[in-house]
Amino acid sequence: MFVQTVALKDVKFYAFHGFYPEEQLTGSHFSVDIEVTFIPTGDTEDLKQTVNYEVINTILISAMQKTQKLLETVVKNIIDELIKVYPFIATTTVGIKKIHPPMPGEIGHSFVQLKYTSSK
């Protein structure tokens, strides 16, 4: 049995997520990593038989455009949409980094990640 992985790494966004009102006004730079696994069936040249990373990118763009207070909500929304579009996925891991979060000190990034595992 084969397990296939489709992933996008270090997808850059400028978005307005943040708990504090000023974060939602000024925005921040973000980086998203997403990885999906599934058991391939059928023709490996048929996009209907796989997870299309262009579709994943469209899901990311949509989720990042909808301002949320918490990155946890953004990640959950991404996973929910992935499951809706690709109900056959076995696992997905989504992580979002907020680059240089507005806190005292020199912080490279904050990070939130969720992992989904199918119960099937």
> What is the rounded CA–CA span in Å between residue 49 and residue 39?
10
Tell me, what's the pLDDT at 14?
Answer: 98
pTM comes to 0.93
Average pLDDT over residues 48-76: 96
Map tokens 């989720």 to a residue.
Answer: 63
Tell me, what's the pLDDT at 43?
Answer: 74
Residue 85, pLDDT above cutoff 80 = yes
Tell me, what's the pLDDT at 41?
Answer: 85
The per-residue pLDDT for range 29-58, each reduced to its tens digit, is 999 999 999 999 877 788 878 899 999 999
Tell me, what's the pLDDT at 120?
Answer: 75
Residue 76, pLDDT above cutoff 80 = yes
Map tokens 């000190």 to a residue.
Answer: 105
- Percent helix, strand, coil in the chain, to 5, is 30, 35, 35
